[in-house]
Each structure stands twice: as C-alpha cells, then as structure tokens.
Chain A
Amino acid sequence: MSDSKTDVVIQNLLKRAAPGRSEFEDLVIVPLFAIVAALVLGALVMLATSVEPATIAKSYLALLQGSVGSLNAISETLTAATPLILAGLGLALGFRAGLFNIGAEGQILMGGMAAVITGFSFPGLPIYVLLPLCLLSGALAGAFYAGIAGWLRAATGAHEVISTIMLNLIAYRLIDYMLRLPFVQRPGRNDPISKSVPDHAELPRLLDWIDPNLRVHGGIFLALAAVFVVYWLLFKTKIGFEFRASGASPDAARFAGMRSGLTIVLAMASAGALAGLAGTVQVLGVLDRVTPGFSAGIGFDAIAVALLGRSHPFGVLLAGLLFGGLEAGGRQMQVDAGVSIDLIGIIQALIIVFIAAPMLVRAIFPWGFRKPETVRGK
C-alpha cells in the first residue's frame, strides 16, 4: 500500500503545481504586485552592489524599452519567448499528467540536433517539404528522448525526476560528441560546431522586409498554434482527460480502466515533442546551426514558465511572453546602463516567488486585497 500512498503524495504535489482556476485577484492583482515587488527588490540588489540610483532608473527604463519600447524590442521579445512557450507547454502537459519532467533541456538539444541534421542532409528538397520535415524530425527526436524517461517510469518505475536529469547530462555530452562527427561538423572547423541548414530550411523571418535586423520568425505562429493544440488536447480530448485524470489521481484512473503506463509514455512523449520543437525553432529560426549548449538554459527557464503559467496553456503563453520580455529587456539594460543581464535572473526568480506564494504578496500588500486574511492555496 505504501506505493499507492507515495503516488498520491507526488500527485498531490504536482496537482498543486497545476491548480485549476484561480480568482481574479490571484490572476491579475497578485502578478502585478509581484512584478512591482520584484523590481523594487532588484533595485535594492543594485543599490547593495553600489550601482548609482541614476543608473538604476536608467536600467529599468532600458528594461522597458528593450522589451516593448520599439518594433525591434517587440521582435526580440517574441523571438526569446517562442522557445520558452513551446518548451513550457511541454512541461505543463507533463505536470498535468502528474509527471515532473526536468528534461526539457536535453529534449531541446536533441530536437535541435535532429532538425539541423535533417536540414543539411536534404538540401535539394523544396521548402514546403524540407521545413515540415525538419520540424517533424525535431519533434520526433524530442519525443523519443523524453519517451525513454516515460518508458522507464512505466516499465520499471524509475523516477522521472532522476532519469530526466540524467538524460539532460547525457544529452550535453552526446551533442558534444555528435558535433565532432565528420558528417555533422562544419568543414574546416576544429571546434564543435555543426554545418548550417540551407536557407530554405530556415523559418521565415516575419519582418525582415521592414528591417533585416528584426529577428522574429515564423516559430511564433508555431508556438501560438501549439498553445491552442495543447489546450484542445488537454481539455477537449479523451487522451487529455486521461492525462489529467492520471495526474489528479493515478489510482482512480487505473481503476477506471485507463492504461496508466501508456498514458505516462504518451504524456512524456508529447511533452518531449514540444520541447524538441522548442529546440527546432531555436536552430531553424535564430541560430541556423548547433553549437554545444545552444539550449542556453531555456529548458530550465521553461520549468519556471510552466509553473508560473499554472500549467495552463494560456498561462504558459503569458508567462513565456513575460520571460521573453525580461530576456530582451535585460540585454538592452546591459547595453544602455552597463548593468549585468544576470540581474534579470534575480528579477525572474523574485517574480515567481511572489506569484507562487499569493499569501506572501497579501502579507506585504495587505491594502491591495479585499479579504486579506482569507486562507487560500488549500
């Protein structure tokens, strides 16, 4: 019986990562206060590291300008948000099915790698064949890689937290190795770097007719479509119901006749497909080749995005845009005010703290809420 008990424990744990609906206050007022509080604390951190108050004001202005202040800023925000939304959706899907997938990073790497290999292997194909083929191979590679962890969980009970962490670490080395293979490595280079994909395998830039520096690419539509597909999958289909049911109560789902092993593998694989797509759009839309560690921590940021979006597709969309904006704005901040972009990491973390702990926000800003003493989160 202990097994079912521990199952219930982790399911409860994950359920709280994915609460169903929250009230207006939690959805709108808490995040607003959270952002304000995080920015204030960020300013304090800057003060503590002897940054001039004038520079602080300048850096926050740059943060705003860099994220939404111009066409270029919006383009950068969307570019940074695209992979975050895709990978975040994948993780959210896993959370809903009761799986804590830390492996987006590895799935991103494998997806991107597969897409690049497909891209430069078939340069003769026309764009309307090659591009979908690249996207498909990226998604499949991610699905396969995540599927390993899912299958291990279903067949042997190996915990997905451990196996996905290990698969991440394996993926880093595997990419290093593959990038030195003769048919992958760019000719004439000694460092691990892959060949580039042909131009017509790249996701089209959307705004380069205005300014060739605008990097936003077709991947954003893919991300938007994925939001709706995941929403539809989770809330309108039988398999989505099975995901959520086995996430909410694995025992009940099992006794209702759902094939829990299959559900786990499918949920992991679809999460991996989305993360693989995140890697794919990154290489086909932005980088055009693979380098070691091109995932750049997107897989870990995506955990935060999924949690912040409360594992709801639309929440993930908003959280991904917020994080994309912070990323893009952070770069501007570094350029304009000379404040390191690492500050963004602090602000991101603080925003999540405040959003994930509504009680804390209520304690700090008691006047902002109608019923400050209401106990919630139960």
Chain B
Amino acid sequence: MAMTNQTTPSSTSMPDLGKQKHARIAGGVLIALAMLVAFVFGAGTEGSAVFRLSRPTDALVLPDLSVPAMQFNLVVAALLAFLGVRQFLRGGVRWSSLSLGIGLALVVVAFLVWATAGKAFSLTGMLQATMVRAVPIALGGLAGVLCERVAVVNIAIEGMLLAGAFAGALVGSILGGVAGLAAAVVVGGLFGFFLAALVVTYRMDQIIAGVVINLFVLGFTSYVSSQVFQEYRSLNNAPVFRAIKIPILGDIPVIGPMLFYQNIFVYGALIMVAVATYYLFYTRSGLRARAVGEHPRAADTLGIDVYRTRFINVTLGGMVAGFGGAWFTLGSVGRFDENMTGGRGYIGLAAMIFGRWHPVGALMAALVFGFADSMQQKLALLQTPIPSEFLAMAPYIATIVVVAGFIGRARAPAADGQPYIKE
C-alpha cells in the first residue's frame, strides 16, 4: 500500500522538494497546535489539575500529582511553537515525524490538564481502560500483520473478530469459558483458512474476499442471534474471564494495574505480540513467510512452498483474530449482540498500517486508539464544554493527522495483494 506523495515522482528525481513540503506542513500543523494550546487550553484556565496516581486500596500509595493548569499549558504551547518554527525553517523528514509525534503527545497532555483543571482525575483507571480497549484492536492488527506479511490483504479482520465473539458466546454458554475461548480461536482460524482458500486456491480478489467474509459473518451472526438467541436465551449467556492480578508486579503504581491486573485477553495479546515478533523476525519460518510476502517467485525458486506458507500464516492470523473476538463476549459482557465489534476490525487494519506491518507497531498504534477511547469516556465525566461527539471523534481525527504526517516511509510487503500463480 503506497503511502507516499503522489505529486513527487517516486523517490529519485525530486526528493528534497517533497521532504521540504512535508516538513513545512508538519511545521504549520505544530504552530497551529501551539496557538490552540496557548489560547484555548492555556490563557484564562484557572486552578490546578489533580491526577490521582493510585487508588486508596493499592499497596503502594503515591501522592496525587497536582499541576497548575495555566502555567503548565503556556509552557507546553511555547514548546510546541519552538518545535513548529524549527520544523518550518529547518525541515528534515525524520525530524518532522518525531516532532509531530512529540507535538501531538504534548497537545494531549495539555488537553488533559485543561479538562481536569480544578478537578481530579484518575490516571491509573484511564491507563487500565486504555489497555483493555486496545486489546481487540491490537489483536486485529496483529492478525493483519500475519496475513499481509505473506502478501494476503485481510479486510476480513472485522468479520473474524465478530465470528470469534459469536463462537465464544455460543460455545462458552454451553461448555464454559475455556471451551468458548478455544472455539473462538478455532472459528477464527477456520475463517482464516477459508480466506486463504478463496484467495490462494481460487485466486479471488483479496479485497472482495475480505468484504465477503465480513458480510457473511455479519449476516450469519445477526441471523442466528435474531432467529435462535431470541428464543433460547441460555445459549447466549457465557461466563466472563475475570482479571487476574500478578503478585508483586500488579502492585506497581500507575503501570501495575495497566499491565499486570487484567484478564487473560490482555496477557494473551501481549504474549502473542511478542511471539509473533519473534516468529516473524527471528525464526527460519518467519523469514520464509516474509520472503513469500516480498517476492513469492524468488521464494518459490528457493523451494519454499508459497501456497502452504500463505495458508498457514493466514490461518494463524485468523486464529489471533478469533481470540481477539472472544474478548468482546468472554472478556467483557458474556453476551453476543448484533455487530458488537462495531468497526474495531477496520481500526485494527488502520493500526496495522499505522504500525508499519510490525506486531509491536500494531500494538503501539492500538494503544493510541485505546488511550483516545478511554480518555473520551473519562472526560465525559469531567463535563468539559466540548460536546461529547467531538471527544469521540478525536481519535479518528488524530489518526488522520498522524497518517498524513507520519507514515510517509511506511511500506507494505512488496507482493501485498497479488495472487501467486505457480508455473
């Protein structure tokens, strides 16, 4: 998937002009953000923002962090302005991405301080929610990485998540949570296998195949929940996996509850990201998988079975997505609702591209979404003058800004989306 500027011929002839323009845009954005922070979040804001770093029940209790809102935000604005002006005058692509990243993070902090001014806000709770909300997106993104590394575009993540959620609820209600989880993984894997069969064996267009799986799963799960679950409610009442606290680590203030006091889906996601990174970049079969994604013909010449590699990896991707789907039912409410994934699979796809086809990158991107999502929820309680709809929009706007500003260098596996025909 090409991320580059269309107006500059690809890379060789006028690279500097494009970079300069890029840096100018980044600089302009930063300066605009500086003004926003100075005049909206800074000037006239009264009181201090109090951030609670731990709950009274925690083993280690940290004192609250109190920040004088106006002064803090004026400093942030000055920093942003400095970054922006520097960017505007000096340029440089690497720096513009970094500056934009730092700048956006600063804006978020300034915004939080402004919204919290005169009130108190639990940072720990928000970080914990961030992790929880990031899980399905991270797993969806990881599924996408596994597929696209072998050059199979997976638009079907959404459908696989939904299928996992459904299977988890149904089987979980009958046979218990663990069986439900296993069923979700198996069903996800089945859809992965199905996708691989359509695009590898039957050479169907990959995007059509993905769209079709989404349509099919949405239709099937909605059909069954209106046709069957309405009548037999006991089939849709699964147990929920509770949070497990890891001793000692779970007591670390702030990040302890975020990382070590969660349910198995959070741990599972973290482990899977680590395993996938190891598999893709440090093992022989991972190298082969990537070779198939970059140059299938060369891989075939070297004796790698392209079809088999694709089947295996896409199926694995489906299993990961199925596990992520179970989060919706077994990890939170224990009940399946129509279309309950609500587009998280597509955000997972964005997280994958955002994370540059790397498992850790996808996780980081998912955390950004999770953060924005939980921030918006908590801010609704603080009653800021901003309409809640705009708070809900913020993560998506941020994504667009970041994708426009950052992703210049991202590069999909070379053979992404192409069917391979063995000669």
- Chain A interface residues toward B at CB < 8 A: 1-7, 9-10, 12-13, 16-17, 45, 49-51, 100, 102, 152-159, 161-163, 165-170, 173-174, 176-177, 250-251, 254, 260-261, 264, 300, 303-304, 307, 339-340, 342-350, 352-353, 356-357, 359-360, 363, 375, 377-378
Contacts and interface: CB of A to CB of B under 8 A. Distances in A.
Contacts of A51: 227
Contacts of A167: 396, 400
B396 A158 contact: no
Nearest to B225: A342
Contact of B216 (A16, A260, A349): A349
Nearest to B352: A162
Taking chain A's interface residues, is the majority helix, strand, or loop, or is none over half, making it mixed?
Answer: helix
A153 B419 CA distance: 26
Given A166-B399, A340-B227, 17 more contacts: A3-B3, A3-B11, A9-B1, A17-B207, A50-B228, A157-B408, A162-B399, A165-B349, A165-B350, A166-B350, A169-B393, A177-B387, A339-B227, A340-B222, A342-B220, A356-B205, A357-B203
B270 to A, nearest CB: 25
B405 A7 contact: no
B202 A357 contact: yes
B73 to A, nearest CB: 26
B61 interface: no
Nearest to B401: A158
Interface in B347-391: 347, 349-350, 353-354, 387, 389-390
A98 to B, nearest CB: 10
Contacts of A154: 6-7
Contact of A353 (B7, B212, B397): B212
A4 B7 CA distance: 12
B2 interface: yes
Contacts of A158: 3, 400, 403-404, 407
Give me the 6 closest cross-chain CB pairs, A-B, nearest first.
A345-B219, A13-B417, A349-B216, A4-B10, A349-B215, A342-B223
Interface string B198-220: 10001111111101110110111
Contact of A156 (B22, B396, B411, B412): B22
B307 interface: no
Contacts of A307: 205, 207-208, 211
A84 to B, nearest CB: 14
Contact of B204 (A3, A10, A174, A360): A360
A56 to B, nearest CB: 12
B421 to A, nearest CB: 6
A4 B11 contact: yes
A170 B2 contact: no
B224 A49 contact: yes
A349 B403 contact: no
Contact of A261 (B6, B216, B226, B417): B6
Contacts of B354: 162
B392 interface: yes
B101 interface: no
Interface in B1-27: 1-7, 9-12, 22, 25
B337 interface: no
A6 B1 contact: yes
Nearest to A51: B227
Nearest to A102: B346
Given A6-B1, A9-B417, A157-B3, A340 B343 contact: no
B153 interface: yes
21 contacts: A4-B11, A6-B414, A9-B415, A17-B205, A17-B207, A49-B228, A155-B5, A157-B3, A157-B6, A157-B408, A174-B389, A174-B393, A176-B389, A251-B10, A304-B215, A342-B223, A343-B223, A345-B222, A346-B223, A357-B198, A363-B202
B11 A349 contact: no
Given A356-B212, A377-B203, A3 B417 contact: no
A157 B409 CA distance: 10
B405 A166 contact: no
B407 A12 contact: no
A163 B411 contact: no
Max chain A Cβ within 10 angstroms of own Cβ: one of B215, B387, B396, B416: B215
Contacts of A10: 1-2, 412, 416-417
B9 A173 contact: no
B204 A357 contact: yes
B30 to A, nearest CB: 15
B263 interface: no
B418 interface: yes
Contacts of A5: 414
Interface string B20-63: 00100100000000000000000000000000000000000000
B297 to A, nearest CB: 14
Interface string B151-190: 0010000000000000000000000000000000000000
Contacts of B411: 2-3, 6
Contact of B211 (A153, A304, A360): A304
A90 to B, nearest CB: 16
Contacts of B349: 161-162, 165
A248 B22 CA distance: 27
Given A307-B211, A345-B215, A346-B223, A1 B10 contact: yes
B212 A349 contact: yes
